[in-house]
Amino acid sequence: MTVIAIDQNVCTGCQECTKICPNLAIEGLPHQPQKIDENKCVMCGQCVQKCKSYVSIAEHGFGAYALVHKERGLPESVVEPLFAAHNVTHIMEVKKALADPGAYTMVQCAPAVRAAIAEDFGAPLGDLAAGRLAAALRKLGFDRVFDTNYAADVTIMEEGSELIDRVKNGGVLPMFTSCCPAWVKYLELNYPELRSHLSSCKSPQQMEGALFKTYGAAVLKTPPEKVFSVSVMPCTAKQYECSRPEMNDSGFRDVDVVLTTRELAWLIKDAGIDFVGLQNEKFDLPMGDYTGAGEIFGVTGGVMEAALRTGYELITGKAIPAVDITAVRGIDGFRTAEIAVGDLTLKVGIVTGLKNVKPVMESLKAGQLDLHFVEVMTCPVGCVTGGGQPKLVVETDFEEAYKQRISATYDHDKELPIRKSHENPSVKKLYADFLKKPLGEKSHKLLHTTYCGDKKAHH
């Protein structure tokens, strides 16, 4: 499927996109329209963030603008400049579902969305808007407003247990995180022989989608075939991920539609909602209950830190001495740390930005990567800088936005009453009532997968 496109009639060949592309998927001569090689594209959308060529009403006239606007299927209320590199939008599908009285609409929001969406309404960079986000989604008419952070906590239960199992029982190591679909796609394209190193866990988005149409439908006494599952993500690759043939273990497509942070902002504006003036509201229970560990999934090192907070206690049976594991934080391209977990010294690595992963993979191929667990994030400092986040036009804003979004995420983690995934009461209830145990039969069927390209996965 096409997720990222470059409009040949708008592109001026500035080549900002070719410089940022982590898999060298964009080709073209300077000052000529660039093209995407879809066989190489990992759909991360960083080209969308960096693109400088655009069409606007002010500079190109209403006719030229209206043509591009119509081709992309955007709401009439969108009047901002339209850039050459863009993601294919699914706003109209969501509007149709919201207007359908026969559809039961459930929505989930990734942790990075709340750290950036307010920027599209004039707020300062990194203004965290969790409560206003929940309120806006409710005003749009979603039947249930849930949170991907909940599924991030579930992911830690599954992924942490998987890592412990591999370490104790001679499984394939190092284990790599699998929550970033652009990274998974990169590995499939470039190192398919190393797929066994990927965690078998689905991403939080896909876990929550599978739970929407099974556990959630049962709790809410709603027929699963009526559930229309929407996720709001900072990431354009999530649009690809939800369409993968592996992602239907609920008996239905686990996630029906993905909207980016930018697209949700358009939808909110289209509905005439005053986002800035909204009163804070909470996400719905049970799948809107989350911890600080789930929240930090949005920044580089966050998945690792969340896993260590829980893994330490699962292995030792004791409370972790310090919840803040600063050794895995930072924005260096590749960093490693050794964490004492009882009698075990856990060796971990964090890759920030997909352009930094090749030396790591070559080291693994050569048998020289002496690590247990590696987190890989495609985007510059993690999901807070995803291809679907609010577009930054002024070059000097990038670094400041990165800094403020990271800071807002860690601040939110600190202010939450529970900061470890295994202590989330709604996650405990999920296991008690439905999944029974991490890596159990039901969680294996719904929450894990085997990545095998475009072929149907077999458990």
Can you tell me whether residue 382 is helix, strand or coil? strand
Beta strands in 59-212 (DSSP E): 82-83, 85-87, 104-109, 144-145, 175-176
- Residues 255 and 205: their CA atoms lie apart, in Å, by 8
The residues with which 340 forms a beta bridge, in sequence order, are 345
∠ Cα 79 83 85 (to 5°): 140
Place of tokens 């601040």: 411
Cis bond upstream, residue 30 (ω within 30) = no
Count Cβ neighbours within 10 Å for each residue of 367-384 and write b for 16 or more, e otherwise: eebebbbbbbbbbbbbbb
Q: Record the tokens describing residue 407, joined without a space.
A: 């800071």
Other beta carbons less than 10 A from residue 156's beta carbon? 30
Contact 260, 236 (CB under 8 A): yes
Secondary structure class of 444 (helix, strand, coil): helix
Cα distances (Å, whole numbers) of residue 449 to 23, 198, 452, 458 = 24, 10, 9, 8
Q: Please state, in angstroms and as integers, the Cα–Cα distance from residue 145 to each residue in 135, 205, 221, 437, 455, following that order.
A: 9, 14, 16, 26, 33
User: Which residues are tagged catalytic?
Assistant: 159, 162, 179, 199, 238, 241, 246, 383
Is the bond into 75 cis (omega within 30 degrees of 0)? no
The answer to whether the CB of 351 falls within 8 A of the CB of 360 is yes
C-alpha 45/C-alpha 172 separation (Å) is 31
- Strands 85-87 and 82-83, by their bridges, are unpaired
